[in-house]
Every structure is written in structure tokens, then in C-alpha cells.
Amino acid sequence: MTEVVQGGGRGYEDPWPPVRGDYHVVDPLSAVAVVTLTSPMILRGCAIFGQCKTENLGIEKIVANVISNCNIRFVIICGLESKGHLPGNTLLALHKNGIDDQGRIIGSKGAIPFIQNIPPEAVRRFQDQVEVIDCIGIVDAEEIERLIDQCSRQSAPYPAEPFQVVKRRSVPAHIYAGDADMTFGSGVVMDASAWLVMQVSEGG
């Protein structure tokens, strides 16, 4: 349920980033985004930095915010990994391998590594637009800032329009409720006069 919209002369459209999350925006014209995993860090010189603790929704937000800014050509993954969830490992796997038909991130060792809210073409754009730099385990902000500086010197904006992941409103489907007054969906209805919740089969 997504579509690509065009636009953006500076490499991104306002408001950027389009998806809310646990991050800080520094300079949207910078070429570098930094994912600090579970480690709280304050960084200068990058476009955006923030923590990521989950291997599904958190990864989706990173992808959506990165590909909506063509200036970003590098994603540095640093800080301490989230045990069990492994978002750092998962982001590396996503960039390297992409997703399968069910949205599972191929090769991830995370617990539930799925992409559900962004289309496959957004993943391909992420793979194409940025280089991912594996600094997992590094928590020294100065070291990361030196790397940001190096990356910034060797990049040009991605030669395309910003990729916006926009949710399209779906048409409400008719839900069968039988003779009951209320429905909870999934074949569950309520007869309000008897205050009774029950399961019904479609059509009868």
C-alpha cells in the first residue's frame, strides 16, 4: 500500500525526516546517517543520528528516512548491539541481501527480522543509494565523527529524486456481522441485547 512521489531540489523535501523516531537531525545536507544501536551518543557533522533497538520497525524507519534524502550516501552502524534483536546485524543483512517474498530480511540473525511497511523497491533503493559501514561495538563518538568527516569528503548526492514512502489509505471492506449488532472483525461479533460475543462463519 505504498507509492513513490517525486520532488525535492535540495535532495530532500520538508518536512524531513518523514518518519518520526528516536533520532536527532544535525545537517540534512550531510552525506552520513549514523545508527548508534543501543548506545546513546551525541554526534556532529552527520545528517541524522539515533538509536535503533529493534530488527523490524526500527529498521523500516531508518530506510524510509535515509532514502527520502539523496544527500545521504553512507550509513554508519556503531554502538553496542541489542542482544537477541540484533538490529545492527539485520541492517547489514538488509543492505547486503534484501528481503524475500514474505518481507523477511535474508540472512539476518535477529529475532523477528521482517519488513512490513515499506515496499521492496524502497529496500532496493536503500541498497543502491548508500554504503553501509560496519562499526558495531565502537562507542567512541570522536572516532565516529572522524569517520563521518572522511565519508563526507568523498560523496555526491544520489542522482535521483528523494524516495518517499507514503501510506495509501485503503478502501474499507465490508465486514459480515450476521444478525449481531457489533463486529470485531476476524469473524467475531457481538449481540448487544444479550451482551454476547461469539464467532460466526462468513455468510451464515
Partner 1 sequence: MFRFEREQSRVNIGGVVIGGQPGELPSVLCGTIFYQGQKLVEDEERGIFSRPAAERLVSRQAELSEETGCPSILHIYAKSIEAFGKYLDFAEEAWGGAFIIDSADPATRMAAAALVSEVGYADKAIYNSISLATDESEGRALGESEVDSAIILAYNPSQPGVEGSLAILETGGGVRKNGLLEEAREAGVRNLLIDPAVLPLGSGAGSALRFSVAAKARLGLPVGSGIHNAVSSWPWLSGKDAAIKKSCDASAAAMQLLAAADFLLYGPIENAEIIFPAAALADILVAEAVRDLEIVPAKVHPLHRLV
Q: Is residue 40 close enough to count as binding partner 1 by CB under 8 A?
A: no
Query: Judging by beta carbons within 10 Å of its beta carbon (0-12, 13-18, 19+), is residue 29 exposed, middle or buried?
Result: middle
Q: Least distance (Å) from partner 1 to the CB of residue 136?
A: 16
Measured from the CB of residue 56, what is the shortest distance to partner 1 in angstroms? 5
**Which residues of the chain form beta strands (DSSP E)?**
2-3, 23-25, 32-35, 48-50, 74-79, 131-136, 166-167, 182-185, 188-191, 196-199
Give whichever of 90 and 129 is closer to partner 1, judged by the CB atom. 90
CA 89 to chain centre: 15
User: Which residues, numbered 91-110, are part of the site for partner 1 (CB under 8 A)?
Assistant: 102-104
Q: Considering only 26-34, 88-96, 132-140, 185-193, which stretch makes contact with partner 1 by CB under 8 A?
A: 185-193
Kindly tell me which of 73 and 85 has the beta carbon lying closer to partner 1. 85
Q: Assign residue 98 a region: left if phi > 0, alpha if psi is -120 to 50, beta otherwise?
A: left
x/- track of binding to partner 1 for residues 52-81 (CB under 8 A): ----xx------------------------
Q: How far is the CB of 59 from partner 1 (least distance, A)?
A: 11
We find the least distance from the C-beta atom of residue 125 to partner 1, in angstroms, to be 21
Run of H or E including 153: helix 141-153
Closest CA to 132 of 73, 57, 176, 187: 73
Q: Which residue has the cell 532514502?
A: 67
Residues 117-176 that bind partner 1 (CB under 8 A): 117
Distance CA 75, CA 31 (A): 9
Applying CB under 8 A, the span of 41-49, 114-122, 135-143, 148-156 interacting with partner 1 comes to: 114-122
Of 117 and 129, CB closest to partner 1: 117
